Amino acid sequence: MADRLLTVQEVAERLGTTVRFPRRLIEERRIEYVKIGRHVRIPERVVDAFVVAHTVAPTVRRLRRVA
């Protein structure tokens, strides 16, 4: 297992959010996590997948020609 396990604080910093956001993702079971005793860790690949899954591509706006 070469995947790095991140703390909730590290995930929050990586996402640019408060600690509350990744904790909510964990509580709502919206993100995979690992329990090590009383500690919670999130695999780095899971954070990357979460970002990719929630990335919104820009739309192309076409300008109308005025007759």
Q: pLDDT digits over 5-64, tens only? A: 999 999 999 999 999 999 999 999 999 999 999 999 999 999 999 999 999 998 888 777
Confidence (pLDDT) at 67: 66
**Which residue, among 7, 35, 8, has the nearest Cα to 22 in the 3D structure?**
8
Query: Hunting for tokens 């300008």 — which residue is that?
Result: 63
What percentage of the chain's residues is helix, strand, coil (to nearest 5)?
40, 15, 45
| CA distance readout (Å), 41 to 12, 19, 27, 47 | 12, 13, 13, 11
d(CA 47, CA 31): 8
